[in-house]
Amino acid sequence: MLKNDLFLRALKGETVNRPPVWMMRQAGRYLPEFMEIKEKYDFFTRCQTPELASEITVQPLRRFGMDAAILFSDILVIPQAMNIEVQMKPNFGPYLPNPIRSKKDLDHVIVPEVGDALDYVMQAIKETKEKLNDEVPLIGFAGSPWTILCYCVQGQGSKTFDKAKELCFTQPMVAHELLQKITDTTIAYLKAKVNAGVNAVQVFDSWGGMLSPVDYQEFSFQYIQQIVDALKEETPVIVFGKGCWFALGEMARSGAAALGVDWTCSAKNARYLSGGKITLQGNFDPARLLSPPAKIKEMVTQMIHEFGKDRYVVNLGHGILPNIPVENAKAFIDAVKEYKVSDS
């Protein structure tokens, strides 16, 4: 039995004394203890070594006592398992030397046996669960198929993902075949994570906002829907689409347990667009953690007032930035933990 199940209760829509809190990318780059590990081991070594991944996962819990942990990993372990080379270059980011640009390129892409190819992730989950000792739930995650396609086709990060869009619009059959392979792999991967012990999963559609609403439906959401359909009976599924406010209504009907909201969509609009009956998560601007701690606490309390304490998970509107002072991250978490209904 979990000692703190506040996060899972909020996902179910139960009445709570205060909303739960965690931060996207909470395991990582803003923490000095993480930087010590980073200096010794490269990125994918950290992801692929269960002892390191589990240690990094629990580091922020030791400091701040969030209401949930999220496994330290990366969305690009999926293409790696699918026979697509992925490198992580310092001061550059992900680099895929052999991007998928044609049917011929796609022939080399496999739907792997995830139990073998990604066993190190499952081992990291088991080690993390031991370290957590049932204190809080553990979240597993994956990138949306569209977001993974963006990297597989572009070959690196981008402000426009023009090559990814070009493939979709000029060779749609190739794009859909790649998207389906990613979807099938992701479903198997997330199911394996649930079997390994995660208590909920989140799908990150980081680049969904690059698409028009019509193209979003064709190239992103229908594949996210497959993932939700496959997982929703086994575990709560959170769907987070950055820049995808236009799809909140459809997402709310998908069977997902909760929807992530970025900082460009207000609480009022998010509640309205999602129909007002689903748990929402977000939407604090990560850069606002550069504000003084007293201001952060004030803004977090206001954010809870606007979303309401029930059917709400306090979080950032995207991942925490590397230059955030530790005491500011603490102020964010503490503001939620100190919240009382009388504050409203």
Instruction: Determine if the peptide bond prior to 283 is cis (ω within 30°).
Output: yes
59 marked as part of a ligand binding site: no
Is 217 annotated among the ligand-binding residues? no
151 is in an annotated binding site: yes
If phi over 0 gives left and psi between -120 and 50 gives alpha, with beta otherwise, what is residue 314?
A: beta
| CA–CA separation, 165 and 155 (whole Å) | 13
CA–CA separation, 294 and 296 (whole Å): 5
206 annotated as belonging to a binding site for a ligand: yes
147 near 183, Cβ under 8 Å?
A: no
Is 277 within 8 Å of 252 (Cβ atoms)? yes
Q: What is the DSSP letter of 139?
A: E
Q: Is 305 annotated as a binding residue?
A: no
Q: Is 212 labeled as ligand-binding?
A: no
- Considering only CA atoms, which of 165, 185, 159, 167 is closest in space to residue 75? 185
176 assigned to a ligand binding site: no
Token representation of residue 49: 């070594």
DSSP letter for each residue of 230-272: HHTTTS-EEEEETT-GGGHHHHHTTT-SEEEE-TTS-HHHHHH
Please tell me whether 27 is known to bind a ligand. Answer: yes
Query: Residue ranges for the binding site?
Result: 25-29, 44, 74, 151, 206, 318
Query: Residue ranges for the binding site for substrate?
Result: 25-29, 44, 74, 151, 206, 318
